[in-house]
Structure 1
Amino acid sequence: MSKVVLITGGSSGIGKSIGEFLHQKGFIVYGTSRNPDAVLNSVFPLVALDVRDVNSIRSAVDTVIATTGRLDVLINNAGVGITGPLEEIPTSEIKNNFETNFFGPIEVMKAVLPQMRQQKSGLIINVTSIAGYMGLPYRSVYSASKGALELITEALRMEVKSFGIHITNVAPGDFATNIASGRFHAPLVKGSAYEVPYGTTLKMMDEHVDSGSDPNDMAAAVYNIIESLRPKIHYKVGAFMQKFSIVLKRLLPDAVFEKILMNHYKL
């Protein structure tokens, strides 16, 4: 029997690449979008879902289960980027980021867990970020929201293991997607104390995305996780140095690692 997969944020970027890859492998794939009618080129069906709206989440999950009778894999992929000096990011934007990157995935997991518990099987893959392993300058909110999701996953994994449900994190580095155009950028304020360093860092971040890895690498990694009998707690996907930075953070004294980051970002 083909596994039924639900991918949040499946209309573009990494989510779309994962959905197309799994569709080609014979999975029954459903993606989500806040406005699925506006997406004309999807090879798999899209259902309406806004991760900031609990009723929207429950309706989408109920639709998939009513159509297929089961739900085997949830890929919590929907997320948004955010950049800026913490002092200058509006609090409303910080809250919106956590609603999308942290509270939203929690509500989607809550919506699918009863079905998976009934089936006595299921897999949840939370798409986090290598940025969630460290506090990055001018990406403080993004690092925090993704890091929080990593820790929630670690805890929930232990809570549901006895039900036959597996939960794992997959943390991508920089991939060549449209995330840069969709994220919130705190504006460069003329005369601000952060104008020059933030401007330099913002340009560097956009260049990293433009030259990022192929999203199909992420899709292949997710496929391998689904095929695994015992998924690990953490996976990292991306350029070698981005993954190696996590190792360096663990091994080096804090002040040394901080100096490396500041030199990298020319701060």
Structure 2
Amino acid sequence: MSSVLITGASRGIGRAIALELAGRGHRVVATARQAEALADLPVAERLQLDVTDQDSVDRAIAAAGEVDVLVSNAGSTLRAPLETVPLAELEQLFQLNTFGALRVAQAVLPAMRERGAGRLVFVSSIQGRLVLPIIAPYGASKWALEAIAEGLAVETAPFGVKVSIMQPGAVATDGAAGAKSFFTDDDPYLPLYKQLPALRGEVITAEEVAAAVADTIEHTDPPLRVPVGVPAEQALKARKEAPEHAPFLTAQLDW
């Protein structure tokens, strides 16, 4: 069994991953910004870790012991038109979803490289390969994350490190419901905002994502990209087959 460190394990997908992996007998190090939120998880270690804070990351990695697998899950989202999204909010999103993921990967990689083995698993989204209007700030952070993950896959392969990118579609967590929104009462982009539920498609459970993550970790030769669930597979297939001369999903919008 592997020793697995999970970021953002206090709720949603991260919590489900911790439970799934612990249930399969792995040594799980669950981390979150507020360690007390992990108190009821049946895992080996519960540590405070803020992926946007280098000192916090360093302390957590030092306390975690040997890490065979990093599951980089911590993240957030927001809703805003690109015309008016506050750039400070966008910067914060990248700090968490993108730079934070790389910061923790940088912390665990030296030991993995020296051992000649390790796994990096990044929880991305279908929005790391396609763009949904109004959620484009989140999508941008995931496109960047996937570029980083693929770069790491190329650079670390000679050292025995394997990288996988998990790509679920809509997941039944409180992430979307709790997302910050930036609209005025007479915002011209509100018609697009109201179409989001239909565009996001069928919803899967956090437990389905967790099972896919666990299966990927236990796979001897995991793929780089792993669509999670039939809706994700269908969406990514449609994106791949769509013509490049127009933005994807344009024809589906009532605009």
SS of corresponding position for 2:83: helix
Displacement, 1:202?
Answer: 4.7
Q: CA RMSD in A?
A: 1.8
Displacement, 1:168?
Answer: 1.3
Instruction: Determine the structure 1 residue equivalent to 2:101.
Output: 105
Normalised to the residue count of structure 1, the TM-score between the two structures is 0.89
The answer to whether residue 218 in structure 2 is matched with residue 217 in structure 1 is no
Unaligned 5+ runs, structure 2: none
Match of 1:235 among 202, 223, 226: 226
- Paired positions, count: 254
Residue 195 to residue 216, structure 1, CA distance change in 2 (3 Å): closer
Normalised to the residue count of structure 2, the TM-score between the two structures is 0.93
Structure 2 contact 39–46 (Cα < 8 Å) conserved: no
Displacement, 1:154?
Answer: 1.1
Q: Which residues of 2 match residues 184-199 of structure 1 at below 5 A?
A: 184-186=180-182, 188-198=183-193
Instruction: Determine the structure 2 residue equivalent to 1:251.
Output: 241
Instruction: Determine the structure 1 residue equivalent to 2:195.
Output: 201
Q: Distance in 1 between matches of 2:38 and 2:148?
A: 32
Displacement, 1:179?
Answer: 0.8
Unaligned 5+ runs, structure 1: none
The answer to whether residue 177 in structure 2 is matched with residue 181 in structure 1 is yes
Q: Distance in 2 between matches of 1:130 and 1:124?
A: 18
Structure 1 contact 5–72 (Cα < 8 Å) conserved: yes
Q: Distance in 1 between matches of 2:38 and 2:219?
A: 32
Structure 1 contact 36–46 (Cα < 8 Å) conserved: yes
Q: Which residues of 2 match residues 1-267 of structure 1 at below 5 A?
A: 2-44=1-43, 45-65=45-65, 70-186=66-182, 188-198=183-193, 200-202=194-196, 204=198, 212-240=203-231, 242-255=232-245, 258=248, 261-267=249-255
Structure 1 contact 175–238 (Cα < 8 Å) conserved: no
Q: Distance in 2 between matches of 1:19 and 1:90?
A: 34
Give the aligned residue type for 2:244. Answer: D
Q: Which has the higher helix share?
A: 1
Structure 2 contact 69–118 (Cα < 8 Å) conserved: yes
Note the alpha carbon deviations across 1:37-95, whole angstroms, 9 max, x for none. Answer: 24442222321011111111111111101xxxx11000000010111111121110000
Identity fraction in percent: 33
Q: Distance in 1 between matches of 2:190 and 2:234?
A: 30
